[in-house]
Amino acid sequence: MTAKTPSKLEKILAAGHYAVTSECGPPRGSDPAGIVEKAELIKNHVDAINITDNQTSVCRTCSLAVCIRLKTMGLEPVLQMVTRDRNRIALQSDILGAAHWDINNILCLSGDHQSFGDCSKGQNVHDLDSMQLLQTVRQMCDEGKFLGGDEIKRPPQMFAGAAANPFADPFEIRVARLAKKVKAGAQFIQTQCIYNLDKFEEWMQGVRDRGLHEQTAIMAGLTPMKSAGMARYMKNRVPGMDVPDEVVQRLADTPKDKQAEEGIKMCIESIERLKECEGIRGFHIMAIEWEEKVPGIVEAAGLYPRPEV
């Protein structure tokens, strides 16, 4: 595999290394200090940093602005882009805006429904869906054309990715759905947080049976649990999340002041186990408002130092 874009993430994957990414949420205000601090905490331990796009439908500083901030810090952003809030004009325009700043990674998503956020009475757009956004990105990059067919001067160079949730229903089409995303042009995949490793490995078996792991770079998504309470919340309240009882139990059996430490330990164990899973090309560590723990996890999982490419 050779890299087709200037994306550092793509180059690391192409060189056969495990890639490591993390994510940061933009602030609910205009002060850049917090996000700069978060990025500083993790920058030496990850290859690229996803910047979320109004996650859980709560208004925040836009992903593109924060991605530009990371670029000015010399870091590698992954622009997350949801189809909930913008039509095809705005999406293409923001893709060009990102390319203007030589942002080379994009993650195409549909986005949480707006009813979860602080604008539950607002409209949603969904002019395109996440797969059609992927197709749009690839057309703009590979053919140098807008959706309308006109030529783009200096087309974007983007490593285009998508999310996959092996745990959502219906399970029987979850492999087929990945195949569809690959067909739509997904060059990398970041999965939903994995807690049910048995089910994840079953999905990966299906992925390998169809050779999909050779057509896209699958990065396993992980979020360390801070407490038994968080595990229960994720299990019961977060759509599409699969947290087995034994995960909740193990944390509940740990004294309260040691639960965070146990959660980190479980995350590292998951990475170690997933390294044995053929087709896993990297790890996407989403430590929600817990960025300071990322370096320790990366080091303990034997993923440090990060390769130079």
By the rule CB under 8 A, 129 interacts with other proteins = yes
CB 222, CB 284: distance < 8 Å? yes
In the complex, minimum distance from the CB of residue 73 to other proteins, in angstroms, rounded to a whole number: 30
Name which position in 183, 205, 214, 246 contacts other proteins (CB under 8 A).
Answer: 183
- Return the axis-axis angle of helices 259-275 and 197-209, rounded to nearest 10°: 20
Q: Rg (Cα) of the chain, in Å, rounded? A: 19
Instruction: Draw the binding track, 150-179, toward other proteins (x: CB under 8 A; -: no contact).
Output: -------------xxx--xxx-xx--xx-x
Cβ 107 to other proteins, closest distance in Å?
13
287 sits near other proteins (criterion: CB under 8 A): no
CB neighbours (10 Å) of residue 260? 18
- Please give the Cα distance from 100 to 227 (Å, whole number): 42
Instruction: For residues 22 and 285, give the distance between their C-alpha atoms in angstroms, rounded to a whole number.
Output: 5
**3-state DSSP call for residue 206?**
helix
On whether the CB atoms of residues 38 and 66 are closer than 8 A, the answer is no
Tell me how far, at minimum, the Cβ of 178 lies from other proteins, in Å. Answer: 10
Which of 5, 124, 157, 227 is close enough to bind other proteins by CB under 8 A?
A: 124
Measured CA to CA, the distance from residue 176 to residue 173 in angstroms comes to: 5
Binding mask 196-235 for other proteins (x = CB under 8 A): ----------------------------------------
Rounded to a whole number of angstroms, the minimum distance from the CB of residue 203 to other proteins is: 13
Q: Does 186 bind other proteins (CB under 8 A)?
A: no
| Cβ nearer to other proteins, comparing 42 with 234 | 234
Q: Which is nearer to other proteins, 71 or 235 (CB)?
A: 235
Give Cα 268 to chain centroid, integer Å: 18
Tell me: does residue 113 bind other proteins (CB under 8 A). Answer: yes
Nearer Cβ to other proteins (1/173): 173
Q: How far is CA 193 from CA 52, 87, 197, 204, in A?
A: 15, 28, 10, 14
Please provide residue 227's backbone torsions phi and psi, each rounded to the nearest 5 degrees: -165, 170
The dihedral through the CA atoms of 256, 257, 262, 267 has a sign that is: positive
132 binds other proteins (CB under 8 A): yes
Cβ at position 59, least distance to other proteins in Å: 18
Contact residues: other proteins, CB under 8 A: 83-84, 88, 110-113, 115-116, 124, 126-132, 135-136, 147, 163-165, 168-170, 172-173, 176-177, 179-180, 183-184, 192, 239-240
